[in-house]
């Protein structure tokens, strides 16, 4: 895992309002993202705009305000909680004379910091290289000319073209390695699906408490912290449920607003645990003011990875912060659709276990009926 300075890099964060309803929550989120990356927020700049400035995203007046904040706070970098184009990022770094990081780069950096497994590291590297490929011009403009002169005559490529070609070769290699790992996972998942064990996957917005719940249920010791993206690598464990036997439960990477597409694509193999699950436990931070928006973002990513139709059970977590009572809610058909719990204190966990037992028994019954029907059809064919 990457090491960061104990004190952290001093950062000014920039959050512009383009008419979003949850601007305060977005500002708090970028603070957490910065701290999760090992940075220290020493200044904040905000403001309203009708639309982004094509050259600097923020406009000249706001850029001057950021420059003043850098000077007064002795900041080392500026973090925009927005996606910047390569041109905007280059112009901002030129005007501010300071390193500029956008939201996508920040999330990629946190992923690089957190990745622990070989597969996780491959996925992060792939996403970083694909992101970098659009920004190569920033580092190579001074070499963007044909090679020439003594010792410089060669294949007729510019340095920029050479670098892009080498980067493209590395991307192809990483994709092939991830495809092989995905095939291995596929074999393992098929073996699990052949049994009658219920497969459950934890999904939710980052920092909703998935890993804490996973550890509380399975005693797995997975890293859990009050940080964004504390978990990147999927971990699966067997869990004994009274009255239903063993189930398989998996902890997955958390989702976030405007998750870069390159990360969704790169982590597709890891997220397949959600695609192939019998049940998704959608863990929600019930104490968050932005919980509705966070739930919508999770559903958006689930749709993107073709997991939108997998049955969901809402797990209303952190009730210890809202003083809500533990409980379970059923729909008009009698199925439990939401359970209120606290994964930290353990309140409501028995209700969650009972709910998982219901789903496990329902799957076992469905499988038994399918086997009986298959046997009946086979017998009918035999006599006919």
Residue set of the binding site for GTP: 204-211, 229-233, 251-254, 317-320, 342-344
Summarize the annotated binding site for Mg(2+) as residue ranges: 211, 231
- Round to whole Å and give the CA distance between 299 and 305: 10
Residues forming the annotated binding site? 204-211, 229-233, 251-254, 317-320, 342-344
Instruction: Give CA torsion, residues 376, 381, 383, 384, to 10 deg.
Output: 140
- Edge to edge, what strands does the sheet with 327-330 contain? 235-241, 245-251, 198-204, 279-285, 312-317, 336-340, 327-330
Q: At what angle do helices 23-36 and 103-114 cross, to 10 degrees?
A: 40
Pinpoint the alpha helices (H) of 228-348.
Answer: 261-266, 268-275, 291-304
Helical spans, DSSP H, in 115-150: 118-132, 137-140
Helical residues (DSSP H) of 16-155, grouped into ranges: 23-36, 60-73, 86-96, 103-114, 118-132, 137-140
The interaxial angle of helices 86-96 and 60-73, nearest 10 deg, is 50
Angle between helices 118-132 and 268-275 (to 10 degrees): 120
The structure tokens listed for 122 are 């491959």
């Amino acid at each position: 895992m990457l090491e960061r300075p104990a004190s952290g890099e001093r950062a000014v964060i920039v959050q512009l309002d383009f008419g979003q309803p949850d601007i305060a929550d977005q500002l708090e989120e970028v603070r957490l993202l910065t701290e999760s990356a090992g940075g220290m927020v020493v200044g904040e700049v905000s403001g309203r705009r009708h639309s982004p400035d094509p050259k600097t995203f923020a406009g000249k007046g706001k850029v001057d305000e950021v420059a003043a904040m850098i000077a007064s706070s002795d900041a080392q970098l500026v973090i925009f909680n927005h996606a910047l184009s390569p041109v905007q990022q280059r112009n901002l770094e030129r005007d501010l004379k300071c390193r500029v990081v956008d939201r996508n780069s920040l999330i990629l950096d946190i992923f690089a910091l957190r990745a622990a497994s070989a597969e996780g590291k491959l996925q992060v590297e792939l996403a970083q290289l694909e992101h970098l490929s659009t920004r190569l011009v920033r580092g190579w403009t001074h070499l963007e000319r044909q090679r020439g002169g003594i010792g410089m005559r060669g294949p007729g490529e510019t340095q920029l073209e050479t670098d892009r070609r080498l980067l493209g070769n590395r991307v192809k290699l990483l994709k092939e390695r991830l495809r092989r790992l995905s095939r291995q996972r596929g074999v393992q998942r098929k073996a699990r699906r052949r049994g009658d064990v219920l497969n459950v996957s934890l999904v939710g917005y980052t920092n909703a408490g998935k890993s804490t719940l996973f550890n509380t249920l399975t005693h797995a010791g997975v890293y859990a912290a009050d940080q964004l993206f504390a978990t990147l690598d999927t971990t699966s464990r067997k869990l004994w449920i009274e009255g239903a036997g063993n189930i398989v439960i998996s902890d997955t990477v958390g989702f976030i607003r405007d998750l870069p597409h390159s990360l969704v694509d790169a982590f597709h193999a890891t997220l397949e645990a959600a695609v192939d699950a019998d049940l998704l436990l959608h863990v929600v931070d019930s104490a968050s003011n932005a919980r509705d928006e966070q739930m919508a973002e999770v559903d958006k990513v689930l749709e993107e990875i073709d997991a939108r139709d997998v049955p969901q059970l809402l797990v209303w977590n952190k009730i210890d912060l809202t003083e809500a009572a533990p409980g379970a809610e059923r729909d008009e058909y009698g199925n439990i659709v939401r359970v209120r719990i606290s994964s930290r204190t353990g309140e409501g966990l028995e209700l969650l276990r009972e709910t998982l037992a219901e789903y496990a028994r329902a799957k076992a019954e469905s499988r038994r009926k399918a086997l009986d029907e298959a046997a009946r059809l086979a017998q009918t064919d035999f006599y006919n």
